[in-house]
Amino acid sequence: MIRSLSLGICLGIAFMGCKKKSDSKPPEAVQLIFPNQNSECTTGQSLGKETSQVEFNWSAANNTKTYELRVTNTTSGAVQTIVSSNTTAKLPLAKGEQFSWLVRSRNSEVEQTVSSEIWNFYNAGSRTTFAPFPATIVSPASSENVFKDINNEVTLSWSASDLDEDIVRYDVYFSVETPPVDLIRALQPAIKSIKVSVTSDTMYYWSVVVIDAEGNKSNSGIYNFKVL
């Protein structure tokens, strides 16, 4: 009887230990679903002339208890957040404005959080022309360690989108300072990469400004990489 009781206690402890270990895994990142990347959201419920309520959707993530939706007005910098235990949430947003959004996965068992990609969209309104969306940096990724090629160069590449499809130029800033101060090239819209000369064991900073036919501009933000 004592042996059976001891065995049961051991099994119970082992089960609890396994469960605790499983629960303490860090959360995983979600996949964003809607509003679509670099799009105009036209499905919001109107709350008046200035505002509409937009519903956000994303995929479920493993080891996640709650999701924090973070929406930023890219013009004013105003941020709205809401926490949800589901994979959807609604927020009132200004009509005709450009926004970026992301979702952070959280687990009460660990302090670590993880963020999704950042997507951009316009909330539909009376606007008839649109500023370009910020360029999406492709390579090097932010904080990436890279090797220079045989010519002591690294290739910078990005993608860009504009609802009006009237991008006329990319201004590429690149330097060892932050923010990057040197405008190294002004490129035609068909060109989305450039080679830059680099030195080993050096950190570099760069950004891409997208300009459309009406002079509207958007900035990718500052990215950095280190040459090994």
* Shared domain check, 141 and 112: no
Confidence (pLDDT) at 23: 52
Among 123, 145, 175, give the residue marking a domain's end: 123
Q: Is residue 155 domain-shared with residue 204, that is, in the same domain?
A: yes
Residue 12 lies in a domain: no
Task: Check whether residue 98 and residue 160 sit in a common domain.
Answer: no
Q: Do 142 and 119 fall within a single domain?
A: no
pLDDT tens digits along 76-124: 999 999 999 999 999 999 999 999 999 999 998 888 999 999 999 999 9
Q: Which of 89, 123, 157 is where one domain is finished? A: 123
Q: Are 41 and 113 found together in one domain?
A: yes
Q: Which of 77, 92, 123 is the last residue of a domain?
A: 123
Rounded Cα distance between 165 and 221, Å, is 21
- With respect to residue 26, please indicate whether it lies within any of the assigned structural domains: no
The C-alpha atoms of residue 91 and residue 44 are separated, in whole angstroms, by 10
Question: CA 44, CA 52: separation in Å to the nearest integer?
Answer: 6
Q: Is residue 61 part of a domain?
A: yes
- Tell me, what's the pLDDT at 164? 93
Mean pLDDT over each residue of the chain, to the nearest integer: 91
User: What percentage of the chain has pLDDT greater than the value 70?
Assistant: 90
> Per-residue pLDDT tens for 123-177?
999 877 899 999 999 999 999 999 999 999 999 999 999 999 999 999 999 999 9
Find the CATH number of the domain harbouring 56. Answer: 2.60.40.10
Do 86 and 144 have their domain in common? no
- In the prediction, which pLDDT does 153 show? 97
Proportion of the chain above pLDDT 90, given as a percent = 84
For residue 26, say if its preceding peptide bond is cis, omega within 30 degrees of 0: no
pLDDT of residue 7: 46
Q: Is residue 201 part of a domain?
A: yes
Question: How confident is the model at residue 126, as a pLDDT?
Answer: 82
Range of the domain at 93: 32-123
Which of 6-20, 93-107, 118-132, 211-225 shows the lowest mean pLDDT across its residues? 6-20
87 with 55, same domain? yes
20: in domain = no
- In this structure, the answer to whether residues 142 and 214 fall within a common structural domain is yes
Q: Both 188 and 215 in a single domain?
A: yes
Contact 134, 218 (CB under 8 A): yes
Number of domains the chain contains: 2
Report the distance separating Cα 140 and Cα 23, nearest Å: 34
Q: How far is CA 185 from the centre of its chain?
A: 25
